[in-house]
């Protein structure tokens, strides 16, 4: 096997590999291969491994006939044992499903760089998949093939130079983007909330008012407990999110939020606090009525109807209710989801003059393309005003 040694040069430390390649059958002299100049020990080891394959000294692992789907399953088993969220494992399984469409029965060693790149191109052609989704699939693919490399199942990593094709937008595409369809204007929000109050379920108004006035994600909303709300300080503490992929009422989990930035405390207005107080009183009335049938785990938005009193709502339930209310609001002709209320919150904050970084902090994320688009759309008039003021200043100098 290769010998990896460190040596000194005028430019600093370097690494070298020395491989004993048997004896020359003609002379009997030892054959030695030496390569120098590696900056890192890891680079030297990788080069030594590949050279040993080329010289025939090292052979591929006997498990070299393993298929991609078998390799993916083995990697996922190992990955699942690390400190990773259940929701992340579920996403990885979904991403593996996409990759299996292309490679499931192929031997891992037979998958070429061209095959892998073609798979990414084909995924990009699928207009239903967002760029971030494809990026996640690619990330999972890279980890699976890296695992195969570590187990000496591959000579070359087919993902090494792979890339995700970028969207080619024309000027017309950019000009025709209608970001306004992703949120409610303030007068539309007012009408929507009035519809929720008049025609919604018992807790629709408080649910949608809270979403719109706080920018919470639906999963963060249904995970809220009364201890997270400080009525005196008028703040809401967001520390968890609701997870229930099977949509089994009793099989839900409360998990840490998506990112560390999602853990936050936000200030809320008296309108929200007052509505939540009324909601708490209504909840207490129902608790007294149903007694032990109420699942009392302190949820702010526990169900107020049979048969699962007190259990948190499904996120899908909130989406269905919003669709129903939008149909009952004739003036609104937009296809929106509860997440659209986050963008609505963004638009109203931007209109009120709040800076983008403050909005991002309140929403609990560092970057979001739609949020940025909404912000820029709302603030374009203010930017024009800034330009006009600059022009006025310069013109005043000329007059002077």
Residue written as token pair 């688009």: 373
User: Following DSSP, what letter does each residue of 191-254 receive, concatenated?
Assistant: HHHHHHHHHS-TTHHHHHHHHHHH---HHHHHH-BGGGEETTTTEEEE--EEE-TT--GGG-EE
Count of beta carbons in the 10 Å neighbourhood of residue 363: 23
d(CA 178, CA 346): 16
pLDDT at 63: 52
The CATH number assigned to the domain with range 187-337 reads: 1.10.443.10
Contacts of 30 (CB under 8 A, 6+ apart): 20, 22, 23, 24
What value does the mean pLDDT take over residues 58-73? 75
- In the chain, where does the domain assigned CATH 1.10.443.10 lie? 187-337
Q: Are 346 and 318 in contact (CB under 8 A)?
A: no
Look at residues 186, 189, 283 and name the one whose alpha carbon lies nearest to residue 229: 283
Alpha carbons 222 and 178: distance in angstroms, whole number: 30
| pLDDT of 385 strictly over 90 | no
Query: How confident is the model over 351-376, as a mean pLDDT?
Result: 85
- Interval 355-368 mean pLDDT: 85
* 389: its two tokens: 């003021």
Least confidently predicted of 96-110, 135-149, 158-172, 177-191: 158-172
Give pLDDT, residue 62: 44
pLDDT in the model for residue 220? 96
pLDDT tens digit string along 250-309? 999 999 886 778 899 999 999 999 999 999 999 999 999 999 999 999 999 999 999 999
Angle at 356 between CA 350 and CA 357, to 5 degrees: 145
Show Cβ contacts of residue 203 under 8 Å, excluding neighbours closer than 6 positions: 279, 282, 301, 304
pLDDT at 165: 87
Band (pLDDT 50/70/90 cuts) for residue 129 is confident
Rounded to 5 degrees, φ, ψ at 183 are: -155, 170
What is the pLDDT, as a whole number, of residue 375? Answer: 85
Question: What class has domain 68-150?
Answer: mainly alpha
Start-end of CATH 1.10.150.130 domains in the chain = 68-150
What's the mean per-residue pLDDT of the chain? 89
Q: What is the pLDDT of residue 158?
A: 95
User: So what's the pLDDT on residue 153?
Assistant: 86
- What proportion of the chain, given as a percentage, has pLDDT over 90? 58
According to the 3-state scheme, what is the secondary structure of 266-314?
A: EECCHHHHHHHHHHHHHHHHHHHHHHHHCCCCCECCECCCCCCCCCECC
**Across 380-386, average pLDDT:** 72
């Amino acid at each position: 096997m290769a010998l990896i040694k460190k040596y000194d040069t005028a430019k600093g430390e370097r690494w070298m590999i020395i491989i004993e390649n048997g004896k020359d059958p003609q002379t009997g002299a030892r054959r030695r291969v030496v390569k120098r100049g590696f900056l890192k020990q890891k680079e030297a080891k990788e080069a030594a491994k590949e050279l040993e394959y080329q010289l025939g000294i090292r052979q591929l692992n006997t498990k070299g006939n393993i298929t991609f789907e078998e390799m993916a399953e083995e990697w996922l088993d190992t990955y699942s044992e690390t400190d990773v969220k259940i929701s992340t494992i579920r996403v990885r399984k979904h991403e593996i499903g996409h990759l299996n469409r292309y490679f499931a029965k192929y031997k891992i060693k037979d998958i070429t760089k061209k095959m892998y790149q073609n798979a990414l191109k084909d995924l990009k052609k699928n207009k239903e998949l967002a760029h971030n989704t494809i990026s996640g699939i690619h990330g999972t693919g890279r980890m699976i093939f890296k695992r195969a490399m570590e187990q000496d199942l591959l000579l070359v990593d087919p993902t090494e130079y792979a890339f995700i094709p970028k969207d080619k937008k024309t000027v017309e595409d950019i000009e025709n983007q209608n970001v306004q369809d992703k949120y409610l204007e303030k007068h539309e929000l007012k009408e929507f909330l009035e519809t929720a109050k008049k025609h919604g379920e018992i807790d629709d108004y408080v649910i949608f008012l809270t979403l719109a006035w706080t920018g919470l994600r639906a999963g963060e909303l249904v995970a809220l407990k009364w201890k997270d709300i400080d009525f005196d300080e008028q703040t809401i503490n967001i520390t968890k999110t609701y997870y229930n992929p099977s949509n089994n009422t009793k099989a839900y989990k409360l998990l840490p939020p998506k990112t560390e930035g999602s853990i936050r405390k936000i200030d809320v207005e008296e309108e929200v606090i007052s509505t939540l107080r009324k909601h708490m009183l209504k909840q207490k009335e129902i608790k007294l009525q149903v007694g032990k049938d109420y699942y009392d785990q302190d949820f702010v938005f526990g169900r107020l109807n049979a048969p699962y009193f007190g259990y948190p709502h499904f996120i899908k339930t909130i989406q269905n209710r919003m669709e129903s209310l939008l149909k009952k609001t004739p003036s609104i002709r937009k296809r929106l989801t509860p997440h659209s209320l986050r963008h609505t919150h963004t638009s109203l904050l931007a209109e009120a003059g709040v800076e983008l970084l403050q909005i991002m902090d309140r929403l609990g994320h560092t970057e979001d393309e739609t949020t940025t688009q909404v912000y820029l759309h709302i603030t374009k008039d203010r930017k024009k005003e800034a330009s006009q003021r600059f022009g006025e200043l310069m013109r005043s100098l000329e007059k002077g």
